[in-house]
Amino acid sequence: MNALNQPVGILTGIGSQTANRLQKLGLYTLQDLLFHLPLRYEDRTRAYAIGSLKPGMTALISGKIEFIDVLDKGRKSLICRISDGTGFINLRFFHFSANQHNTLKPGTAISCFAEARYGFAGLEMIHPEYKIIADASDCITQSRLTPVYPLTEGLNQNVVRKAVAQALDLCQQAPELLTDWIPEPVLTHYHYPSLSDAIQTLHAPDESVSIEALQNGSVPALKRLAFEELLAHYLSLRTTRHKAKAWQAPSFFAGQAGKIATEHFLNALPFQLTGAQQRVIADIEADCLSQQPMMRLVQGDVGSGKTVVSAYAALLALTAGYQVAVMAPTELLAEQHKRNFSAWFDGFDTQVLYLTGQVKGNARKDVLQALEDGSAGIIIGTHALFQDAVNFHRLGLIIIDEQHRFGVHQRLALREKGQQNDSRPHQLVMTATPIPRTLAMLQYSDLDISIIDELPPGRKPIVTSVIPAERRDAVIERISGWVDKKKQVYWVCTLIEESEVLQCEAAEKTAARLTEALPNVRIALIHGRMKSSEKDAVMQDFKNHRIDLLVATTVIEVGVDVPNAGLMIIENPERLGLSQLHQLRGRVGRGSDDSYCLLMYQAPLSDTARHRLGVLRDSNDGFVIAEKDLELRGPGEVMGTRQTGQMHFKIADLTRDADVLAAVQKIGDRFFIQSPQSVQPLCDRWLNATTEYSEV
């Protein structure tokens, strides 16, 4: 066994209790300790003149005690003033012992380490770390920066520091224990240090390393580890892809009958497919004719027409005698797909059925029966589709809409449902969330990507304006004029809190106020706390123009399609991310008339917020917006927890380390050919067993 795989308990000073606490931090072995990096560093390598201290500096100082006193006013504290000839500072202790009071005698030399802050009489240090020393000018400095580690209850810095130091020692004596899986030429090319040097530097940086570079994460040692970790994730996703491709899949070849069916389908559409749609369809067709499972992501801006592309894929499956499951993130969207698919497949000899959590009792039984005996060719629904009771007769294709709303495992669960012997269904996932290329390559490296980069013709760009909330009356006026022209309006309420209750209340209030201000306008409200049957009823009414103004929370974000609604007001847009705003805005601009989006902000607006809303005003292109959002906010936020799926990193930080992504892809792609033997060990090192996509 590699000595680094020994449990932390074998180290001096680590009893079973401490070992348990370390485990809470995920530290089981010596190797875990090596990869447990400091949060930050303290600099005890030099002593500062007291006169040079500024508030906020954490520094080592030394001096002579001038006086000591106990203050009774306010919170009782022990004050001890020290000076070094360049200035003085007060040490302040709220908890102190009689012994402390006795040792801190005037005239005694002392060295202290803490953050200097403004206090009641000039600078002070609260509860500094201190040592009595022989001579005030003889402050004991350290040769290296002191690491400060993440802790958990019951652990202190010293315990972790000593444990890590022992692991480092072992590693220095036997560097071969820590295998460097990154080939030498790669290290040289990117100026990365070796693994053991990197680890040594990060735990015990010497004078040559700048503390700023350490704190802001730009030191090569850290970059190298971030690179390695991201590489491991990339390799793991690519491995998943290779393994998935090794399965069999049904070939959707249907000969002449298939040809007739697709022609019939295309001729019946009320429009011509765009060039981009045709290109993506060709990608899909090629995938589905091969006998490997398709794993394709279709990225396309809101309104680019992804649904009909997926319907075409469904058609291929049907004509070859297979079933299709279409999964949407909300009932509203599932319902809309149900309507579209039912219309498109009207002349075809199959049933389009619908299954969500709301379908109960006998209706549910009937649906399950039809899926099992194969009489239903297409099933559309929410995540209810992958529950245990659902069994397919011959599932050949899975379509997942707005995939970023689903976890990776939900996607996989459905795939397993259709598994038969060594064959798995094809999978088509769709997203309207444009992700900058660099990030897409990491997040979606288990998928092939097709992009619909063209909107259906005749769409006019949405005219977006940014206006302050004080102009609410003018906005209400505008709604009135708009409704007079027999057109419809969305009014979207946002709230900073993630609380749905508050968001709904706000929407209720807004609806009430608008009803008062616009007595002749038919107003309805839709929010996330309504039953889905109620939501559907409202949506249906809006679609059929029995409602003029729909007040909504962000539940309408995804997919809803009402071409006659060409005006949208978004309240407090400054609270949402650009991509989310762009998606919301995509609810309008679906018809051939001019459409408008008013971003009604609450003044005052910060410079960044102003800038961000300006981006949205000036562009209608989701990819441009995503790139700008990336620049302004960084990848971590652009991808958000919702969009990162389940990617957790130990060391890498997508915001800080975006600059290594290009290298990750480049090296990653070569890795399978040049260092295949290193793929598994690298993945083992960085991805723990709970990482969802590792075991697929």
Which residues would be at the binding site for ligand ADP (CB under 6 A)? Answer: 271-274, 277, 300, 302-308, 432, 456, 559, 561, 590
Instruction: Report the alpha-carbon angle 223-227-228, nearest 5.
Output: 120
What's the rounded Cα separation, in Å, for the pair 407 and 273? 31
Partner interacting with residue 503 (select from ligand ADP, Mg ion, none; CB below 5-8 Å by kind): none
- Of the pair 232, 308, the CB lying nearest ligand ADP is at 308
Q: How far apart are CA 8 and CA 12, in angstroms?
A: 9
Min dist. Cβ of residue 303 to ligand ADP (A): 5
Cβ partners under 8 Å of residue 396, min gap 6: 249, 250, 252, 317, 320, 321, 322, 323, 324, 418, 425, 426
Element (H, E) at 569: strand 565-571
Query: Is the Cβ of residue 198 or residue 281 nearer to ligand ADP in the bound state?
Result: 281
Distance of closest approach, residue 491 Cβ to Mg ion, in angstroms = 22
Question: Considering beta carbons, is residue 50 or 626 the nearer one to Mg ion?
Answer: 626
Instruction: Output the smallest distance, CB 402 to ligand ADP, in A.
Output: 8
User: 355, 384 in Cβ contact below 8 A?
Assistant: yes
DSSP code of 253? -
Shortest reach from residue 406's CB to ligand ADP, in Å:
16
Nearest-CB residue for Mg ion: 559
Per rule CB under 5 A, count of chain residues that contact Mg ion: 1
Q: Using H for helix, E for strand and C for coil, what is the string for 486-524?
A: CCEEEEECCCCCCCHHHHHHHHHHHHHHHHHHCCCCCEE
Determine the interface stretch with Mg ion among 113-121, 312-320, 553-561, 616-624 (rule: CB under 5 A).
Answer: 553-561
Binding of residue 300 to Mg ion (CB under 5 A): no
Q: CB-wise, 307 or 382, nearer to ligand ADP?
A: 307
Q: How far is the CB of 312 from ligand ADP (least distance, A)?
A: 11
Written as one string, the DSSP assignment of 64-124 is EEEEEEEE-SSS-EEEEEEE-SS-EEEEEESS--HHHHHHS-TT-EEEEEEEEEEETTEEE
Q: Which is nearer to ligand ADP, 147 or 622 (CB)?
A: 622
**Nearest distance, CB of residue 329 and ligand ADP, angstroms:** 12
Q: Return the one option of ligand ADP, Mg ion, none that residue 277 interacts with (CB less than 5 to 8 A, by type).
A: ligand ADP
Cβ-based nearer residue to Mg ion, 241 or 306: 306
> Closest separation between CB of residue 302 and Mg ion, Å?
7
Distance in Å, CB of 317 to ligand ADP, minimum = 18
CB 38 within 8 A of CB 149: yes
Tell me the pairing of strands 488-492 and 523-526: unpaired
How far is 539 from 520, CA to CA, in rounded Å? 20
Q: Which helix (H) or strand (E) holds 621?
A: none
Around Cβ 255, how many Cβ atoms within 10 Å?
9
Does position 329 interact with Mg ion (CB under 5 A)? The reply is no
Tokens of 240: 């998943």
Any contact of residue 577 with Mg ion (CB under 5 A)? Answer: no
**Two tokens, residue 419:** 């598994």
Integer Cα distance of 159 and 22 in angstroms: 10
- Look at residue 300 and give the partner it binds from Mg ion, ligand ADP, none, a contact being a CB closer than 5 to 8 Å depending on partner kind: ligand ADP
Q: Nearer to ligand ADP by C-beta: 590 or 612?
A: 590
Nearer to Mg ion, 302 or 598 (CB): 302
Q: Where are the alpha helices (DSSP H) in 530-652?
A: 532-543, 578-585, 607-618, 622-633, 635-643
**Cis omega (within 30 of 0) for bond into 250:** no
How far apart are CB 306 and ligand ADP at their closest, in Å?
3
Binding at 303: pick from ligand ADP, Mg ion, none (beta carbon under 5-8 Å per type)? ligand ADP
- CB 306 → Mg ion: shortest distance, Å? 5
- Identify whether the C-beta of residue 446 lies closer than 8 Å to the C-beta of residue 238: yes
CA 40 to chain centroid: 24
Between residues 257 and 269, which has the closer beta carbon with respect to ligand ADP? 269
Among 220, 559, 589, 635, binds Mg ion (CB under 5 A): 559
Residue 377 binds Mg ion, judged by CB under 5 A = no
Q: Residue 621 or 669: which CB sits closer to ligand ADP?
A: 621
Residues contributing to the site for Mg ion (CB under 5 A): 559
